[in-house]
Amino acid sequence: MAQRDTVWMRISKHAAEKGFKIRDFGELLVAKFKDEFPSIVDRVQVTLITDADKVEEELKRAQEFYNARDERLKGLTDESVEEFYSCILCQSFAPNHVCVVTPERLGLCGAVSWLDAKAAYEIDATGPNRPIKKEGLIDEEKGIWESTNEYVYVNTNRSIEECSMYSFMDRPMTSCGCFECIMAILPEANGVMITTREYGGDTPVGMTFSTLAGSVGGGVQTPGFMGHGRAYVLSKKFISADGGLGRVVWMPKELKDSLGDELRERAEEEGLGADFVDKVADETVGTTADEILPYLEEKGHPALTMDPLM
Amino acid sequence: MGLTGLEIYKHLPKTNCKDCGSPTCLAFAMALAAGKASLDACPHVTDEAKEALDSASAPPIKLVKVGTGDHVVELGEETEIFRHDKRFFHPTGVAVLISDTEDVAAKAEQFDNLEFHRVGMDFITDMVAVKCDSGDAAKFKEAVETVAGKTEKAMVLMADDPAAMEAALEVVADRKPLVCAATADNFEKMTELAKGKECPLVVQGKDLNETAELVGKVEGLGHKDLVLDSGARETSKVLADLTQFRRLAVRKKFRPFGYPAIAFATKEDPREEVIQAGVYLSKYADVVVLKACEKQQLLPLLSWRLNLYTDPQKPIAVEAKLYDVGEPTEDSPVYLTTNFSLTYFIVEGEVESSRIPSRILSVDTGGVSVLTAYADNKFSAETITEAMKACGLEDKVKHKKIVIPGHVAVLKGALEEESGWEVVVGPREASGITKFAKDNFS
């Protein structure tokens, strides 16, 4: 599950011996585009670039498109739209999971933004993304609507009755299996920690990404734990019902670095101060609650004095 | 639906002492929630917390046992509404009804002989119900005594008159029969009897509401080994009530319905009666009582029960080993297949009907069929050769010839090279085995 420039593919030696060529990726792409988008695609040409310098150069051009799309999405808020979109792409393996994709909360795989879902719906109205009208507000803070509840209930085979958009503690959204990150409550610090698919090591809750994935995945509601996309950390709606970004006490260094300046900006916007990012512990500080608590206290992490999570 | 990890965590010591083997209390709580750990692993949990967790994690439907010794039938402790969500645990007890007004000894004998062996499994009618139709306590007692003398299987005693029940219990109480039934009119006396003899008790209301109310009253008298009967007898109504029992118990944790349920087939025509019983067995009777007592009538019901209560998450497998069909000699042919039970038994049936004593080597493919196993590399020249060596095939037959399924003819070359045996490509479908065997081995 990846898109943009994060797709990795490797050809095994075995496949190469049997005659697989890089050209075959192109053939596959052509076939797939024609198959998936017959209503908008007539002819397809694929150019594969193998010159590393040329790739770097073209990547810059691609980045401009990515950025433009991100900027467009940034202008959108959950309040400013009439409808959210569902994503049930993962139901082939997690039949009781539904992602509700909002402008400020992308699919937990990180690959489906609100704009992507909207476009997908416009291309294929019977596909995995469908509009959910925002109707019958139940709880504004937690993000619960009658219409989203109803959609989730029907499409989770009647197993999830209610689901909140902005809380990971109270009836959180379910997780399929392809989440980029998993957040977990860290009761000792009255906060939340985030680990990523890329970070395979131990975390302060005592569970690795794969152990956590095993217990939160598969379309079940697991209060205190939730799969999410990397970009969700930067959203104004990031667990906003539970205290937002200020709750984050630990994340892998790699995630911190990759979110970088944007994370600093968000922290400032939230009134947490630009140095908030440095108050968040990572694996270089420690991977157990005991190791990171003194650090959080020393730095004066805001989560320690926030309302109790439990 | 158990507790969430977070709810469990609230009751734990929160010291992260690691004595349970988990790195943190939260990790342990998550393992508990997933059923991958036991609370006993935590040496520091307080008694109050233990009690709170035990009662909250108690199964939504209580386990009730009927019978003694080798013939205990376990009912209830189900956690699912749909089998595919996990599995169903305790197969419905199928009880054959004997009235005290018919030839009790003859039917009891017929009942006790009901056993079927098919596809390597035993199909057993596990309960017998004796009903007081005569209205005569002495006659009922005699009938119960006769049945008890003919069979050791678990019993259901059906009488509305506490006096008749008391008489019957005098002779069979130590067999822990299911006492049927406590109604609004007799529940005080029936509860006293059942409780006194520590026998499970059916609580029969006139509808769902009255049943719930009556359960409360019986529990109030201190008896908690109960089985539910909503009183309905019309098929669709019984189905609806059984469904409500299960839904309310599992989804809403409605405690009065947290017991197994019993249903009674009422149709006179045995065929219709079996169909009716099949409906109840499917959803969600834990005991079903019917009059039919002929093998051909009961076998479909027992087969259906077997299908319902197997674990859908595990392919049904037979033991992977070398099987003899007939009395093979060192010249007999050897067939090769996987250990998926459907595949194996079809092959076995065909080999058997060829009337040529043979051996079948069932390779461990994790219970999947020939082509699936081949695609997954579990049925390859290497795994097959290993299986051939493991069972000592070389010492059992003189020839070095093995028949492989036609669908994996492509394996021939690789297998000959790996095993050094001559590989004969058999028919693609098992139905061709008989002819194949006659053409090649007779």
Contact B23 A224 (CB under 8 A): no
DSSP 8-state symbol, A105: B
- The pLDDT assigned to B120 comes to 63
Distance CA B267, CA B282 (A): 17
CB atoms within 10 A of CB B406: 16
User: Which chain A residues contact residue B13 at CB under 8 A?
Assistant: none
pTM of the model: 0.66
- The pLDDT assigned to B85 comes to 82
Nearest residue, CB atoms, A205 vs list B10, B27, B31: B27
Per-residue pLDDT at A151 exceeds 50: yes
Contact B27 A207 (CB under 8 A): yes
Distance CA A112, CA A108 (A): 8
Contact B30 A215 (CB under 8 A): yes
> Regarding predicted confidence, which is higher, A3 or A119?
A119
- Which tens digits make up the pLDDT trace of B78-118? 989 999 888 999 999 999 999 999 999 999 999 988 877 76
- For B421, the 3-state DSSP assignment is coil
Nearest CA in chain A to B21: A206
Contact A205 B9 (CB under 8 A): no
B212-218 mean pLDDT: 97
Contact A202 B24 (CB under 8 A): no
B384-403 mean pLDDT: 94
A118 closest CA partner among A105, A106, A131, A108? A131
Q: What is the mean pLDDT of chain B?
A: 92
Share of chain B above pLDDT 90, in %: 78
Contact A184 B10 (CB under 8 A): no
DSSP 8-state symbol, B312: T
- Which tens digits make up the pLDDT trace of B220-251? 999 999 999 999 999 999 999 999 999 999 98
- The pLDDT assigned to B119 comes to 62
Distance CA B166, CA B144 (A): 12
- Which tens digits make up the pLDDT trace of A67-118? 898 888 888 999 999 999 999 999 988 999 999 999 999 999 988 999 999 9
CB atoms within 10 A of CB A228: 26
B22-26 mean pLDDT: 91
Nearest residue, CB atoms, A187 vs list B23, B26, B33: B26
Backbone angles phi, psi at B121, to 5 degrees: -130, 155
Nearest CA in chain A to B84: A95
DSSP 8-state symbol, A279: H
Q: Are strands A83-87 and A131-133 parallel, antiparallel or unpaired?
A: antiparallel
- Which tens digits make up the pLDDT trace of A3-61? 778 788 888 999 999 899 999 999 999 999 998 888 888 999 999 999 999 999 999 99
Nearest residue, CB atoms, A207 vs list B4, B9, B30: B30
Nearest CA in chain B to A287: B23
Q: State the pLDDT confidence band at B266, using cuts at 50, 70 and 90.
A: very high
- The pLDDT assigned to B4 comes to 84
- The pLDDT assigned to B1 comes to 45
- Which tens digits make up the pLDDT trace of A296-307? 999 999 999 999
Interchain contact A184–B (C-beta under 8 A): yes
User: Is the C-alpha dihedral spanning A264, A267, A271, A272 positive or negative?
Assistant: negative
- The pLDDT assigned to A4 comes to 79
DSSP 8-state symbol, A235: S
Distance CA B427, CA B327 (A): 23
User: Which chain B residues contact residue A204 at CB under 8 A?
Assistant: 24
Interchain contact A215–B (C-beta under 8 A): yes
- Which tens digits make up the pLDDT trace of A196-254? 999 989 999 999 999 999 888 888 899 999 999 999 999 999 999 999 999 999 999 99
Q: State the pLDDT confidence band at B127, using cuts at 50, 70 and 90.
A: very high
- How close does chain B come to A191, measured CA to CA in Å? 13
Interchain contact A185–B (C-beta under 8 A): yes
Distance CA A308, CA A300 (A): 16
- How close does chain A come to B44, measured CA to CA in Å? 18
Q: State the pLDDT confidence band at A2, using cuts at 50, 70 and 90.
A: low
CB atoms within 10 A of CB A234: 18
Interface of B with A (CB under 8 A): 4-7, 9-10, 14, 16, 22-24, 26-27, 30-31, 33-34
Nearest residue, CB atoms, B22 vs list A204, A206, A221: A206
Nearest residue, CB atoms, B6 vs list A185, A188, A289: A185
Mutation target to probe the B interface, by most B beta carbons within 10 A, among A169, A202, A215 is: A215
Per-residue pLDDT at B35 exceeds 80: no
Size of interface A-B (CB pairs under 8 A): 53
Contact B9 A187 (CB under 8 A): yes
In this structure, what token pair is assigned to residue B302? 């027992």
Distance CA B383, CA B388 (A): 9
